[in-house]
Amino acid sequence: MKAYVLVNVRAGKARHVVDKVRQIEGVKSANACWGRPDVFTLVDVPSEEVLADTVLAEIQNIDGVESTDTHLVIE
């Protein structure tokens, strides 16, 4: 299951968040960008349950993350 997770972060935290997100299992890419959202992340995991855990328990718990917006890829 692939999803794009768009991440909004506090000012000055984008690089820190990208570094931490890239360490999470299932994250294929994470890049800081100009404007909102601040970080675009591509996640590829085996199930909806793993995706929920990845977003809710891991990405959202990184210091500096304000919010996430998850978009499932239709294949």
Q: Which of 19, 17, 15, 16 is nearest to 7 (CA)?
A: 17
Alpha carbon 36 to its chain centroid, in Å, reads 13
Over residues 9-66, the pLDDT tens digits come to 999 999 999 999 999 999 999 999 999 999 999 999 999 999 999 999 999 999 999 9
Asked whether residue 7 carries a pLDDT value surpassing 90, the answer given is yes
* Residue showing tokens 């990184």: 62
Provide the residue ranges of all domains of the chain, joining segments of one domain with +.
Answer: 2-72
Which parts of the chain are beta strand (E)?
2-9, 27-32, 39-44, 65-72
So what's the pLDDT on residue 34?
94
Q: 44: which DSSP letter?
A: E
So what's the pLDDT on residue 31?
98
pTM for the full predicted model = 0.95
Peptide bond into 46 cis (omega under 30): no
Class of domain 2-72: alpha beta
